Amino acid sequence: MPTEPRPPARASAAVQDPSPRHRPLAAALLALEALMLAGTATYCFLGVSAGALDTRFGVGLGVFLLLFALAVALAARSVLVKGRFGLGFGITWQLFQALVAVSLLRGALYWQGALALVLALALFVLLTRLVRSTPLPGQAD
């Protein structure tokens, strides 16, 4: 007699974080990345005003960096409140961050590239550890 497949059991919504300190640490490191992006954008705007950068390029790059700084800051906030956006965006951002870091290393910007790569790897590990303890949409807290 064939049996009907059972619907998958819902995961417990009360899954605990792997360590209570991982979530605030991940959020703090994302906030640090957001500040670094905002600082780089400011450097671009200052470079335009000093004549060291082409106006179109400098302003465009500065605005681009500010938009990503805002998105990374929102991801940091989302991680703190156990939101899914912060994890998805944060993990994806770390992959791009690692690519940029390797490009910096290849361009002989050693300390900048090493800092970006270490930060990307640390955040990638922290954020992937938080995936199981973050509730899915529709799950009760």
What is the per-residue pLDDT across 28-71, written as a single tens digit (0 to 9) for each? Answer: 999 999 999 999 999 999 999 999 989 999 999 999 999 999 99
HSE-up of residue 79 (Cα within 13 Å, Cβ side): 32
Residue 132: is its pLDDT beyond 50?
A: yes
Is pTM beyond 0.85? Reply is no
For 50, list phi and psi in degrees, rounded to 5: -85, -10
Question: What is the Cα–Cα distance from 141 to 137, expressed in whole angstroms?
Answer: 10
Query: How much is the mean pLDDT over the chain?
Result: 86
Among 69, 88, 62, smallest CA distance to 30 is for 69
pLDDT band at 21 (very low <50, low <70, confident <90, very high): confident
CB environment 4-20: b (16+ within 10 A), e (fewer): eeeeeeeeeeeeeeeee
Contact 60, 86 (CB under 8 A): no
Residue 12: is its pLDDT beyond 50?
A: no
For 110, list phi and psi in degrees, rounded to 5: -70, -50
For the chain, the first-to-last Cα distance in angstroms comes to 39
